[in-house]
Structure 1
Amino acid sequence: MNDKERTIMDCVNRAQLAINDWQCSGEIYYLEQAKAEISEAVLLSDELAKEKPVFLQYSAEVQGCVVSSDLCDTPEEALEDIRPDLVVGELVIVYKQKESQWHPYIDMDDLIENFISQADDEAGEGAEAWCDFISGNALAQARKELDEQLNDVLEAWLRKHKVEAGWYDRAGIEGTYRFCGDKFIRVSKAGDDA
């Protein structure tokens, strides 16, 4: 799951919580909050759908082994790359690889829990009122605002310093091949290997 998908899930989860609060209290405020969260989720979903296509690389592995080739531009290059490690008759799986879209993010719930833990360590029972206040409904909108601001700052910092995931994730199977000594024979194609 990439950063945008995670943010969409967070919006939907917050909308569900707001609906639960409305069901308990009957206050329209919670329905408005749920509507805002769903609207944000829809906007993010639209942005996600418009993202550029993913550039694929390929790697090959001997079936049942962890022997992996380097990333290659074509499936044929991946097969040739692993050829020296093969014994006649072995099955080779060629995997599609896509550049990871993962980006770190600040999870506000975890951050608030960390603050509560710090306050508890510092003051024990004396911090209960503060802990209840910072995690309560009165600050729900303020926490959302802080979440957005902190993640905007983090995103700007990552962009400024060109910090990217730098790894590839598997994006499926291109096909499976049997090594016949001088050539590879395709025994299944993408979709047949699932």
Structure 2
Amino acid sequence: MKTITIDQDPEVWAEVPLEYPVGPYATQADWARGLAEAYSVGRDDADEVEAGLYAIASALPVAPRLGLFELLWHRPAIGTMPLLVNVYVAPGDGLEDVSLTELAGAYESEPARPPIVDTLESGVFGSVARVLSFTKDEQRDRLLMHLSAVGRYEDILVRIDGYTNDLGRGTAAADDFTALLETFRFGDAPD
């Protein structure tokens, strides 16, 4: 069995608590409200931002989902909307013949535009696949970007996922996704 740690940059990534109470917040609703208020201060669209963030934060799982290793906020600059990012870790048994680009979702759904697919060298994983795919949000008549990066370490798969409707923000975050993969550390669990 392996131990896994992530040494993420605290200027770029913040952990999202998966259990409550946390800090001064007794409930998930209190935490969601505090988060929404903190990120909406000083914005012209503060009410809309606060409502949107509260909805996202309220929907976060109180108990971890299957394979969910970590839940992170990507926050490249103070005052910008954080991007919610899921970090999944799963055994790769039976998936040895599946390409990293397939595992990153390069061929899922019916895209609104062709996906951007990269395979990059990695000091930790050997190589990683990064996919930016696009779907149409029919309700709000906008394009959504799905960012995904996948690496395979021995028999362990790591996948990082996030969605945004800000295509510039998503494109800028793509390099941070692959940089986050480089901060993974794998060790042998003590007997």
Shorter-chain TM range is under 0.3
TM-score (norm: length of structure 2): 0.23
Higher relative strand content? 2
Higher relative helix content? 1
TM-score (norm: length of structure 1): 0.23
